[in-house]
């Protein structure tokens, strides 16, 4: 899905007392910007516009609800609001450009290790998030991505559960059971490809889904990029070479060349066309088919992630909101985060996203758990949580992992092997590239 710029809104002002009552209650209200103290925004605030940059969700209703919540905040804060969205793969270069220019949006929606990469361009949010954490309890995964060098640098926004997405008709017609292991996927994927229904994993340098899928697969084969100390490079190992051999065979036996050019919508189009039999993805494919009342909707099902020789593992994308250092509206941005993370507001946003985005706090998960419990087609999603790691595991996400992902290194490694290079030479090449990344990334 391509991004689009959303319209701004300028709205009425409420008194400080009304603002506090509507949003955070007296405790949180006591920490809001001083410009509320006299009951109305000062003159300069009339010209302020709170801006945010995010990826365009593959569930439009989630973006629509976020726009609504921003507008509600704007009414109470006496400011304009603007929510700008772009395609997923366009976010990292756009953020890097703004960081270099020290100019741009007040709020960035970034994920996984990008907070580490841009930690010098975003402000600490301890005063906002410590009270929220105390009340709502952020989960461990989002915290390890967004709590950086002893401070909250990003507000945990959501994480993805990315199970197997299956066109169950193709599997049943072939007399095949949905796999539980990567080896079963390979063996059964061969059969499905011969029947005209291949599987797909992105192997391109414009698909963040490919980053997810290959992290997941390599962990299941015991591979890792860094050791747990976050610095020792571990990519040139027998496990990584075994993973590469498997990945090449999976591509040659079970996929088609189109995966070499996929963007983040590629796997969605693949499944919705009726051609594809299997991908790993959030539930956007199912949601799109259901929302558009497509006949294929009844065949799109979700199954638990796969296991391999080293166990069952799955990656994710932990998304967060950062406030930029160059923002002239830092206090306003903080006030908006306080407003958004009120349990009622955060819960209605999670519900509006139709199960696509998993909440980051224990309290809001309890408030929204019916989204998954009441819908059998997505009931599997919360069960992924125990198997999910942040990209960079067994270490933490770091600026090195962000730079590694930004270069789509795992996809590059698989692609080089597909072209005929040996796994040994490719892991040696990747080791040298990582050494450069560690030297050059600050």
Looking at residue 38, which CATH number applies to its domain?
Answer: 3.40.190.10
Task: Give the residues across from 167 on adjacent strands.
Answer: 300
The domain containing residue 138 runs over which residues? 9-160+317-368
Residues 46 and 105 both lie in one domain: yes
Q: Would residue 375 count as lying in a domain?
A: no
Higher-confidence residue: 44 or 333? 333
Task: Give the confidence band of 13 by pLDDT, cuts at 50, 70, 90.
Answer: very low
> Which residue is it, tokens 């698989």?
414
> DSSP letters of 383-433?
GGGGGB--TTTTS---HHHHHHHHTTHHHHHHHHHHTT--HHHHHHHHHHH
The domain boundary, picked from 330, 345, 368, lies at 368
Q: Is residue 74 part of a domain?
A: yes
What per-residue confidence (pLDDT) applies to 41? 52
Is residue 6 over pLDDT 70?
A: no
Check whether residue 52 and residue 105 sit in a common domain: yes
373, part of any domain: no
- Residue 146 structure tokens: 């967004």
Clarify whether residues 100 and 151 are in a common domain. yes
Which residues touch 218 (CB under 8 Å, ≥6 apart)? 224, 239, 240, 243, 410
Sorting pLDDT into bands at 50, 70 and 90, what band is 46?
Answer: low
Bridge pairing between strands 164-167 and 151-152: unpaired
pLDDT value of position 47: 75
Question: What is the number of residues in the chain?
Answer: 442
Measured CA to CA, the distance from residue 302 to residue 283 in angstroms comes to: 8
Q: Are residues 260 and 333 in the same domain?
A: no
**Helix, strand and coil percent figures for the chain, each rounded to 5:** 50, 15, 35
What are the tens digits of pLDDT across the range 255-285?
A: 999 999 999 999 999 999 999 999 999 999 9
Give the chain's domain count. Answer: 2
User: pTM to 2 decimals?
Assistant: 0.86
- Are 156 and 202 members of one domain? no
Q: Is residue 391 part of a domain?
A: yes
The answer to whether the CB of 70 falls within 8 A of the CB of 83 is yes
| Predicted confidence (pLDDT) per residue in 110-151, tens digit | 999 999 999 999 999 999 999 999 999 999 999 999 999 999
138 phi/psi in degrees, rounded to 5: -70, 145
The answer on pLDDT for 358 being more than 50 is yes
Burial of 188 (0-12, 13-18, 19+ CB in 10 A): buried
Cα–Cα distance for residue pair 130/32, rounded to 1 Å: 14
200 phi, psi to nearest 5 deg:
-150, 135
Each residue of 23-42: pLDDT tens digit?
444 333 434 444 444 445 55
Residue 77: pLDDT band by 50, 70, 90 thresholds?
A: very high
Together in a domain, 146 and 19: yes
Task: Give the residue among 294, 315, 293 at the shortest CA–CA distance from 160.
Answer: 315
Contact 90, 3 (CB under 8 A): yes
Q: Is the peptide bond before 394 cis (omega within 30 degrees of 0)?
A: yes
- Are residues 45 and 78 in contact, defined by beta-carbon separation less than 8 angstroms? yes
Q: State the Cα–Cα distance between residues 241 and 218, nearest whole angstrom.
A: 10
Residues 155 and 173 in one domain: no
Pair (336, 260) in one structural domain: no
Does residue 423 have a pLDDT over 50? yes
pLDDT band (50, 70, 90) for residue 16? very low
How is residue 40 annotated by DSSP? S
Helix axes 409-418, 423-440, angle to 10 degrees: 150
User: Same domain for 334 and 285?
Assistant: no
Residue 4 lies in a domain: no
Q: How far apart are CA 215 and CA 238, in angstroms?
A: 16
| DSSP 8-state class, residue 7 | P
**174 and 146 together in one domain:** no
Q: Residue 415 phi/psi, 5° resolution?
A: -60, -40
**pLDDT tens, position by position, 195-249:** 999 999 999 998 999 999 999 999 999 999 999 999 999 999 999 999 999 999 9
pLDDT in tens, 158-186: 999 999 999 999 999 999 999 999 999 99
Reference 332, options 30, 50, 13; nearest CA is: 50
Is residue 296 domain-shared with residue 407, that is, in the same domain?
yes
- How much is the average pLDDT of 42-71? 88
- pLDDT, position 9: 40
Residue 205 near residue 416 (C-beta atoms within 8 A): no
- 269 and 413 share one domain: yes
Residue 376 lies in a domain: no
Query: Does any domain span residue 229?
Result: yes
Max intra-chain CA distance, the chain: 72
Q: Does residue 418 form part of some domain? A: yes
Residue 57 pLDDT = 92
């Amino acid at each position: 899905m391509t991004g689009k710029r959303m319209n701004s809104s300028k709205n009425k002002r409420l008194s400080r007392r009304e603002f506090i009552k509507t949003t955070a209650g007296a405790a949180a209200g006591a920490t809001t910007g001083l410009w509320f103290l006299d009951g109305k925004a000062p003159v300069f605030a009339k010209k302020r516009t709170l801006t945010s940059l995010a990826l365009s969700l593959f569930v439009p209703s989630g973006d629509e609800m976020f726009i609504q919540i921003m507008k509600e905040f704007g009414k109470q804060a006496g400011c304009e609001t603007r929510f700008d969205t772009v395609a997923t793969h366009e976010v990292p270069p756009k953020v890097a450009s703004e960081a270099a220019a020290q100019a741009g949006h007040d709020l960035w929606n970034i994920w996984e290790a990008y907070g580490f990469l841009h930690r010098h361009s975003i402000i600490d949010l301890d005063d906002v998030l410590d009270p929220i954490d105390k009340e709502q309890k952020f989960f461990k995964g989002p915290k390890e991505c967004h709590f950086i060098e002893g401070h909250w640098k990003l507000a945990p926004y959501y994480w993805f559960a990315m199970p197997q997405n299956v066109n169950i008709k193709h599997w049943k017609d072939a007399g095949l059971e949905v796999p539980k292991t990567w080896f079963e996927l390979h063996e059964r994927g061969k059969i499905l490809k011969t029947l005209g229904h291949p599987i797909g994993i992105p192997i391109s340098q414009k698909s963040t889904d490919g980053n997810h899928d290959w992290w997941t697969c390599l962990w299941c084969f015991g591979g890792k990029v860094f050791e747990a100390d976050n610095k020792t490079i571990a990519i040139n190992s027998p496990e990584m070479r075994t993973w590469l051999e498997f990945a090449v065979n999976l591509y040659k036996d079970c996929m088609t060349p189109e995966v070499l050019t996929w963007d983040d919508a590629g796997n969605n189009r693949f499944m919705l066309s009726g051609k594809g039999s299997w991908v790993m993805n959030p539930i956007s494919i199912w949601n799109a088919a259901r929302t558009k009342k497509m006949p294929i909707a009844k065949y799109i099902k979700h199954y638990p992630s796969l296991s391999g020789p080293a166990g069952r593992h799955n990656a994710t994308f932990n998304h967060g909101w950062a406030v930029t250092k160059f923002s002239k509206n830092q206090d306003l941005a903080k006030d908006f985060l306080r407003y958004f993370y009120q349990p009622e507001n955060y819960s209605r946003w999670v519900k509006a996203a139709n199960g696509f985005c998993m909440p980051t706090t224990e309290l809001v998960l309890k408030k929204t758990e019916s989204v998954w419990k009441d819908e059998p087609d997505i009931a599997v999603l919360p069960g992924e949580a125990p198997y999910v790691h942040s990209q960079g595991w067994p270490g933490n996400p770091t600026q090195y992992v962000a730079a590694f992902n930004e270069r789509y290194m795992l996809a590059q490694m698989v692609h080089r092997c597909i072209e005929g290079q040996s796994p040994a030479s490719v892991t040696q090449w990747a080791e040298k590239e990582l050494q450069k990344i560690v030297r050059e990334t600050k």
